[in-house]
Structures are given as C-alpha cells and as structure tokens.
C-alpha cells in the first residue's frame, strides 16, 4: 500500500484526484479525518503542523521562584502532538504501507512539517521506504511529474525550520513572560514580545514619535493659468517651493504680462511593464485593491491549494526557463481572459520582464489553472490580479508623449507640463494603476498669452507618512526581518495583540509604551540587527554551513545578553509601561497656557511637560526615575489646581513631593535669594508675569523684561546680569554632578543630590574644584577613601586635559603623555624633555616644542632646545658605555644627562638624587665614560 501525506486535507484530495487519472477516488472519514483511497493508494492531509514544540514539564507557572523567565532560555524542549486523531491515523496506515510519500509544501516550513510526518511514520514502521514529492503548483502536470521522480526529504532544510521554531519559542516565551511580569500583567492581558515582532513594531512606533514631534514649516507656491484655443494651461513658478515669504511675495508681484512662451519641448517617456510577482509585490498589489496582507495570503493559499495559481510564497521574480509560458497562455484561452491572451499573443514582447531576484525553489506567482467568477466568488479578484500580472509581464512597455512649456512673465519663469499615453502597451491588460492624460494645447515659441489667474498659496511641510501594511512588509524584507512566509503573519499578530491599529498603521498606547521602554533599556530587542543575524544563521543551516543545535545555542547566548540588559531595569521597565498606559499622568492645567500638564519619562529621567509643547515650553523637572516613578496622588493644590505628585519606588515608602508648581516656585526662591538685586516685590512681579524659573528669567531681553514687570531698564540690566551669574554656577554644578555620577554610584542614603549638597558646603561647585579639593573634604560627603581618590584623579585628568588642549597640545600627543603618567601641565614641564621623549615615544623635537608652550603659559623657564641629531648621537655615546642599557638611560635622562659631556660634567651627589641611581653607580659610569 502507498501512503501519501499532504500538507492539508484539500491538497490530499486534489492529489488523489490527479493521480487516480480521474479514476474513482473513495472518500471516507476515520476519527473525523478525511481519507482518500484509489487503487492501492491512500492520501491523507495533515493540518499543517500536527505536533508543536514546547518546554518540558515544570515551566508553566509564570511566578515560579525556581523557574524565573530567564530559566526558559536554557530549558529543554519537546514535541507534543496537537492533532492526535491525525497522528493516530498516519501511524495506523504507516504500519501497513510499503511506500510512503511526503507531499507537503515545498519550502522550509513544509519540509519541517514533512519531517514531523517522517518521524511519526518511522515510529510506527522502521523499514518502509519514505520518499518526498516536491511541486510548485497542484496541477496535473506538476503533480504527475513530482510523483514520477520522487526525491528524498531534505533534513537540512527541515533543520532550518526546526531551529526557527525553537528559537522563536525561547525568545517569545522568555521575553513575553519577563515584560508581562515586570508590568504586572497576566491572563489575557499579557504583553507579547518577540524576536521578529518587536523590531517590526518599533517601526510604526518610531514613526509615530517622528510625526508627533514634527514641526511643520510654512512654504509658498505660485501658479498661474492661461489659455489657448479655449484650453487651460496651468503653469507653476520655476522656483517651486519658496521658503521665504518675502521672496515669494516679490516673485508674485513681479509676475506681470507680457506672458511669452520661451521654450517648448516635446519628448517621449517609456513606462516599463511590471515584473513577475514575488510574495511581497503580490501583497503590495493586493493592498491597492483593498486586501490586508494576511487576507491576500489566505486567499492566495486557497487558490494554490485548488490548483488555480502557483505556490504563493516565493522570492523569485524571474521566470525559470523550464516554465512553459506558452502553455499557460493556452490554458488562459479557456477563461474570461481569452481576448487579453489574444492581444498579448499579437503584441508579445521578445522576452518576459524580469525582477532582480532569482531563486530555484519556486517560480514567480503565476496562474496554473482555469477558473470562473462563479466558481471563485470573492477570491476571483485576486485570481484575476495574478492572471493580469502574468499577461502584463509578457506585454510591451507603454509609452507617453510628454510636453514641457516654459513661460516668461516679466522676468519670472513658469513651467507647464503635460503628458499623453501614446502606446498603452501592458496597460491594456493590467488596468490597476491609473494612466491619466494631462494634455497641453499646441503653442509656439515666442507666442504671447494672457494671464488669467495668478495664485500665491501658503502651504505647510508634512510629517513623514505612517506605514501601510504592504509598505511595512517591504521594509521588513529590506531589513531581513522574518521570511516571505511569516512577514504578513507577524503584522497580523501585532494587530490582534492591539499593538498597532488602523490603516495606515498607528501604534496603540500599549504598543508605544512597550517599544519605548525596550528601546530605552534593551534596544537589542527592538533593533533589527540580532534578528537579521539569526535569520542568516538559519539560512546557513540549509546549506550545511551551520548546525541546528549550533544556531539554537548561539541564539541562547544572545538572549542571555539581552537579559543582562533587561534584568537590572526590570522595575523601571515595568513602571514605565504601566505609567504610560494608564491615564493617571495628567496633573492639571498649565499655568502658562492652560493646556494639560502631564508627567513624561524618557530613559531614566522624568519631568512634567505641557501638552501644548512645542508652542508652550513650560516644564518642571523631577528627580530621576531611580528615586521612584512620579505619579499623581489624590490631593490637589488649591492655589494651582494641580494634582500632587509622589515618587514611587519598589520596596520603599513613596516620596511625597506635593504640588509640583509650588515646589518649583519654592526652588526658584532659593535661586532668587542669590540674586541680591531681586527684591521680594520683584520676585512677586515675576510670578504674576508667569515667569516661574531662573532659566526663563535669564533668557529675557532687559528692555522686554523691564516693560513686562514694570521696572526700570537699569534694574532689569542688573537683575539679568546677576541671574546669568547664578545660572552659570548652576550650570557648572550640573556639569560637576554629571561628572561625579560617572564614577560614584548612588547608594541608599547617598543620592547624587546629597553628595552634591555636601560638595557645596565645602565650596566645591565644579570639576576644577574637585581636582583641587582635599581628599578629606570629598570623604565628608560619604565617599570612601578609594572613591575620593578615583574622583579626584579623574578630575585632575580631565581638568589637565582641557588645560593642555587649550595650551595647544594635540589630542594624539595628549593621550601619549597621559598613558605615560604625565597628567598635568606641571607634570610635563617639570620633567626633562629627554625623559619625556623616551617615556612617551614622542620625538625629542616635538617634546621640546610642547614643553616650551607649556612653560610659556605657566610662566616657567623654557627648556633648552635639543635637536634630534644631538639627542641621537648623545644616546649612542651613552649606550656605548659598558653597563648602560635602556633602563639606565631612562635614569640618566631624568637628570638631564643626555650625552658623555653632560655625564662627565654632573656632580655625583646631585646626579644620584635626580637619577635615582646610587652615587657609586654614577661615579662608576663617569669613570667608564672618561676612559
């Protein structure tokens, strides 16, 4: 008995019908599964995968202490039957079979489904020969051919599919579990995260941010209309978009009669016939006639299973030589398209059009069978699309006659363009894209015309467009995200999980929150790079360059890296997602413009911003999220009508901040107190004028400020000067804090702000101050001995670096001095140039130049010039002395002993002190040199 296993029931039925040679096929049902019998052959359809990959027992509990999300990365997986009735039936017939043919789809997924069937058969019957039939269409020719030349199962191809299954399971399960738990979500409310899904979601989410932050710019366009023989000519100013209103206005006013034709150009434009359909292009074309990507693929699959079109999952855009194009035309003669076929036959191009990609597994999507509208119903539209596209690829290019008229209106140039389809070509059989004529009347060069209408229009630049489904699929393909078989499914998943919605696609609140948080804390998940890498690794399995287990192992390592990024940020990620997704972030009306104030977060920082941004820039800064996420409480400030804010951190009591505006005003009072010319009365005037912060104040022009709050210009001048001085200190302190944060980690009871306050008490307000501060002062603020030393040294290094840079030492040399331990200008100027040269590897002449510069700036004596020649010959003299090697040389250079002469002239006791050698050693060298 011959057992045939197909991918789906419908395929099993059609294959049986074709192979029986239209003989009698008996259809029965066993355990709910269809079985098709003819002669000694039985054909059974699977339901795609009949087994699934899952983790071994013990990993189902999300909140298990023993198995946290990360443990899923290394958990073992098993295969579990999902369609027991089909599995049972296959094994029952496998026992009796003397030949088994696997006839699943021909691609990675199909090969894997085939391998699953293979394993089921082998488990029941170790001996029966198992072969494989591969075909690109379920038609009589293809099926007959495939079964008459059976091949073997491609285990490498299947292994690639298996790797994808396991990798996606591990990534999806561990990340989804981690993020959902972090954001305290469960049940039907989980936040799914995935290897392909998350970088795909990031595209519309990032785009939405771009759109939200887009500031439209005004521009102006000028057009005029004129007329010839009753036909209107619309001409646009040759400068196109004016970004300057005055220029536009002057061009507009300068446009006057006489209006004269200065040039007429006629030309021809070739409009290329479209290339054969691959999956992506098919989805794009289907989208134009109203199909979502998932729907288009579902219908295409159905059409394929029923033998109407070839396999719809293909990357190929070049018809292979083996494809019988003439035969397909003959087939189509029996359809509604007979007239189109006849036209194509008469006008056929020499060679069909070609795209850029050729692959060997499947040809481009093309029609394979005869269908009628009644038979297909709704699906007819996509069948027709495939047929017409096929016909178009055999049709000649279309041609347009073009016309360009240049006009002059008193020195202003205008241009009118027109075009007319002269050869419809492929457009005759492929009417999906509009071909609209815009015909211009015949005019001659030098001809005068009348201006009928002149228009100056103000327009605005537009933000980038949102993604459509088909555009997103195209970009996924470019970025190497997913495969031709999975891209549309990924998008469908994002829609069904309510991450994106609408057409064009927009991210939902949740979609945005999850993406932004991942981008801030674990951007490897949202960037395409890692997925691309895995995608390539899986391709390599197909050609035996990599093993399945190797790729899965590598992906586990990558995922561990991702968790290294994620785990320290668990609380922040969770809080960010929760906060962004709830509406509890609105604080109340903005004191400046009246729109809503809202708590906003970015990475580790948070602030209160105005919904009127960018028109209104009012904002209140808040402590970083490490002190807790800011949320509003139930209390409301009576004077400002704003909700109170508190900082909530896991495991500690919330930090009640009160009314954020009252806080801001209080804070500014501290600043204002430092401005001696600012009296309480003026401070009140500033508040009344809604100038809430020192930053806002310092930006004012003195005249404007004087007028706004009713003080004299002189008063305003003084206040502003002092305000800027205070601001300068604040800026320095903020730089200082940033610097300190790099080296001093926050600890319980030792916040960065607390350290800074301690610094201020000791008069330390800048990086320079740290560099010159006593270690004891630094330690007073809670730094350990080691931290204090590190911080001071880093400050010295940074300050010195900046000083040396200012003096004119190039960055390359600077690095060499620092590496050799010469940090400060003083370090350098007090060392002998010869010693510096040997320690840094910088040439002696350059060192002398540097030391001279530094000495000049410090007001110290300049070094003696030493030429390279003198230096080199002195070095040779010293090296020639017995007992002098590189290390002794270094000692001698320290004391400025650079040749025999200086050695002999040196006073031994003094030289011993400077070189660090013993007196006797120096004397011995002098004796040796004197000989």
Q: Give the shortest CB-609-to-Zn ion separation in angstroms.
A: 9
CB of 588 to Zn ion, least distance (A): 9
DSSP track, 559-609:
HHHHHHHHGGGHHHHHHHHHHHHSSTTEEEE-TTT-SEEEEEEETTEEEEE
Q: How far is the CB of 58 from Zn ion (least distance, A)?
A: 54
Contact 643, 598 (CB under 8 A): no
Query: What minimum distance in Å lies between the beta carbon of 841 and Zn ion?
Result: 59
Nearer to Zn ion, 66 or 638 (CB): 638
Least CB distance to Zn ion at residue 460 (A)? 22
Tokens of residue 618, six digits: 């009012």
Contact 348, 397 (CB under 8 A): no
Q: CB nearer to Zn ion: give 263 or 666.
A: 666
Nearer to Zn ion, 687 or 814 (CB): 687
CA distances (Å), origin 628, targets 245, 597, 655: 49, 19, 8
Q: How far is CA 114 from CA 90, 132, 788, in A?
A: 12, 8, 67
Q: Which is nearer to Zn ion, 599 or 661 (CB)?
A: 661
Q: Smallest distance from the beta carbon of 532 to Zn ion, in angstroms? A: 43
Contact 846, 853 (CB under 8 A): no
CB of 644 to Zn ion, least distance (A): 9
Residues that bind Zn ion (CB under 5 A): 590, 592-593, 610, 612, 616, 618, 637, 640, 659, 661-662
Instruction: Provide the β-strand partners of residue 636.
Output: 643
Give the burial class of 40: count Cβ atoms within 10 A of its Cβ; 0-12 exposed, 13-18 middle, 19 or more buried. Answer: exposed
- We find the least distance from the C-beta atom of residue 589 to Zn ion, in angstroms, to be 8
Q: Catalytic annotation on 499?
A: no
What is the end-to-end Cα distance of the chain in Å, rounded?
109
CA atoms within 13 A on the CB side of 620: 26
285-289, Cβ contacts within 8 angstroms, sequence gap of 24 or more: 285/385, 285/389, 285/432, 286/382, 286/385, 286/470, 287/468, 287/469, 287/470, 288/432, 288/433, 289/381, 289/385, 289/432
Q: How far apart are CA 474 and CA 920, in angstroms?
A: 82
Distance CA 351, CA 393 (A): 9
| Strand ranges (E), 728-779 | none
Among residues 283 and 590, whose Cβ is nearest to Zn ion? 590
Please report how close the Cβ of residue 641 comes to Zn ion at its closest, in angstroms.
8
Catalytically annotated residue among 36, 304, 311, 467: 311
Q: In the complex with Zn ion, which residue's Cβ is closer, 54 or 596? A: 596
Q: Residue 488: which of 509, 473, 500, 499 has the closest Cα?
A: 473
Q: Do 152 and 175 form a contact (C-beta atoms < 8 A)?
A: no
User: Half-sphere exposure of residue 656, counting CA atoms within 13 Å on the CB side?
Assistant: 7
Q: Which is nearer to Zn ion, 467 or 618 (CB)?
A: 618
Q: Which is nearer to Zn ion, 308 or 644 (CB)?
A: 644
In the complex with Zn ion, the residue whose CB is nearer, 238 or 637, is: 637
CB of 635 to Zn ion, least distance (A): 10
Helix ranges restricted to H, 349-468:
373-376, 380-393
Q: Of 491 and 661, which CB lies nearer to Zn ion in the complex structure?
A: 661
Tokens of 672: 């204002």
Coil vs helix vs strand at 157 = helix
What is the helix (H) or strand (E) element at residue 811, kind and residue range? helix 811-819
Question: At which residue do the structure tokens 């995968």 appear?
Answer: 49
Token digits for 356? 């850029």
Distances (CA, A) of 373 to 10, 331, 335, 378: 20, 16, 10, 8
| Residues with active-site annotation | 311
């Amino acid at each position: 008995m011959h057992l045939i296993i197909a991918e789906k029931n419908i395929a099993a039925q059609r294959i049986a019908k074709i192979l029986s040679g239209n003989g009698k096929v008996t259809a029965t049902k066993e355990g709910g599964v269809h079985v098709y019998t003819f002669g000694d052959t039985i054909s059974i359809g699977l339901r795609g995968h009949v087994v699934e990959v899952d983790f071994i027992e013990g990993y189902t509990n999300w909140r298990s202490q023993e198995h946290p999300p990360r443990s899923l990365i290394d958990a073992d997986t098993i295969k579990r039957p999902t369609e027991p009735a089909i599995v049972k039936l296959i094994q029952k017939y496998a026992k009796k079979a003397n030949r088994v043919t696997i006839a699943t789809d021909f691609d990675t997924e199909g090969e894997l489904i085939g391998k699953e069937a293979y394993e089921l058969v082998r488990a029941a019957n170790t001996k029966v020969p198992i072969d494989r039939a591969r075909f690109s269409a379920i038609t009589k020719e293809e099926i007959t051919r495939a079964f008459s030349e059976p091949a073997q199962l491609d285990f490498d191809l299947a292994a690639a599919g298996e790797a994808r299954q396991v990798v996606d399971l591990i990534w999806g399960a561990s990340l989804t579990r981690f993020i959902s738990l972090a954001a305290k979500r469960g049940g039907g409310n989980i936040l799914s995260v995935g290897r392909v899904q998350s970088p795909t979601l990031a595209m519309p989410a990032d785009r939405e941010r771009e759109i939200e932050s887009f500031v439209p710019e005004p521009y102006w366009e000028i057009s005029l209309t004129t007329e010839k023989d009753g036909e209107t000519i619309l001409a646009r100013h040759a400068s196109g978009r004016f970004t300057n209103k005055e220029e536009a206005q002057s061009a507009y006013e300068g446009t006057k009669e006489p209006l004269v034709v200065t040039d007429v150009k006629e030309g021809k434009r070739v409009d290329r016939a479209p290339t054969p359909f691959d999956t992506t292009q098919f989805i794009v074309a289907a989208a134009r006639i109203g199909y979502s990507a998932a729907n288009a693929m579902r219908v295409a699959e159905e059409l394929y299973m029923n033998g109407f079109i070839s396999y719809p999952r293909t990357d190929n855009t070049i018809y292979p030589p083996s494809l019988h194009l003439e035969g397909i035309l003959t087939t189509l003669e029996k359809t509604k398209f007979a007239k189109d076929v006849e036209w194509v036959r008469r006008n056929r191009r020499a060679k069909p059009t070609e795209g850029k990609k050729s692959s060997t597994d499947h040809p481009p999507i093309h029609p394979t069978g005869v269908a009628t509208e009644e038979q297909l119903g709704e699906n007819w539209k996509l069948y027709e699309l495939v047929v017409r596209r096929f016909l178009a690829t055999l049709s000649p290019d279309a041609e347009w006659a073009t016309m360009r008229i240049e006009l002059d209106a008193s020195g202003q140039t205008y241009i009118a363009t027109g075009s007319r389809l002269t050869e419809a070509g492929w457009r005759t059989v492929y009417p999906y894209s509009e071909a609209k004529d815009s015909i211009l009347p015949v005019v001659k060069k030098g001809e005068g015309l009348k201006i009928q209408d002149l228009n100056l229009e103000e327009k605005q630049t537009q933000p980038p467009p949102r993604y459509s489904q088909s555009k997103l699929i195209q970009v996924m393909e470019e970025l190497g995200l997913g495969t031709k078989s999975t891209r549309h499914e990924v998008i469908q998943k994002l829609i069904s999980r309510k991450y994106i919605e609408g057409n064009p696609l927009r991210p939902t609140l949740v979609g945005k929150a999850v993406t932004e948080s991942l981008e801030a804390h674990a951007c490897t998940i949202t960037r395409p790079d890692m997925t691309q890498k895995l995608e390539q690794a899986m391709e390599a399995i197909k050609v035996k360059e990599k093993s399945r287990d190797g790729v899965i192992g590598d992906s586990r390592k990558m995922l561990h890296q991702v968790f290294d990024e994620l785990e320290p940020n668990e609380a922040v990620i969770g809080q960010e997602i929760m906060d962004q997704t709830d509406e509890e972030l609105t604080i109340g009306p903005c004191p400046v413009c009246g729109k809503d104030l809202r708590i906003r977060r970015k990475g580790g920082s948070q602030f209160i911003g105005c919904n009127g941004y960018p028109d209104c820039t009012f904002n209140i800064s808040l402590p970083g999220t490490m002190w807790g996420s800011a949320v509003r409480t139930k209390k409301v400030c009576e004077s400002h009508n704003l909700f109170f804010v508190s900082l909530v951190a896991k495991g500690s009591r919330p930090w009640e901040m009160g009314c954020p505006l009252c806080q801001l005003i209080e804070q500014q009072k501290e600043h204002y107190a430092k401005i001696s010319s600012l009296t309480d009365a003026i401070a009140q005037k500033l508040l009344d004028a809604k100038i809430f912060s020192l930053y806002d104040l310092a930006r004012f022009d003195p005249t404007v400020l004087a007028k706004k709050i009713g003080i004299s210009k002189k008063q305003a001048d003084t206040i502003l000067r002092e305000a800027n001085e205070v601001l300068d200190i604040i800026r320095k302190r903020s730089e200082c804090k940033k610097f300190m944060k790099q080296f001093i980690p926050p600890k319980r009871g030792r916040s960065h702000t607390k350290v800074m306050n301690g610094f201020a008490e000791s008069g330390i307000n800048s990086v320079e101050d740290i560099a010159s501060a006593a270690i004891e002062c630094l330690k007073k603020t809670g730094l350990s001995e080691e931290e204090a030393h590190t911080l001071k040294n880093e400050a010295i290094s940074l300050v010195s670096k900046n000083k040396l840079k200012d003096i004119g030492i190039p960055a390359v040399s600077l690095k060499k001095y620092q590496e050799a331990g010469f940090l400060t200008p003083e370090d350098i100027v007090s060392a002998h140039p010869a010693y510096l040269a040997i320690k840094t590897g910088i040439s002696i002449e350059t060192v002398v130049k540097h030391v001279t510069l530094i000495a000049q700036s410090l007001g110290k004596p300049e070094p003696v010039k030493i030429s390279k020649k003198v230096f080199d010959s002195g070095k040779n003299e010293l090296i020639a002395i017995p007992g002098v090697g590189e290390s002794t040389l270094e000692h001698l250079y320290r004391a400025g002993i650079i040749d025999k002469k200086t050695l002999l002239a040196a006073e031994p006791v003094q030289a011993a002190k400077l070189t660090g050698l013993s007196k006797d050693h120096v004397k011995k060298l002098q004796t040796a040199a004197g000989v």
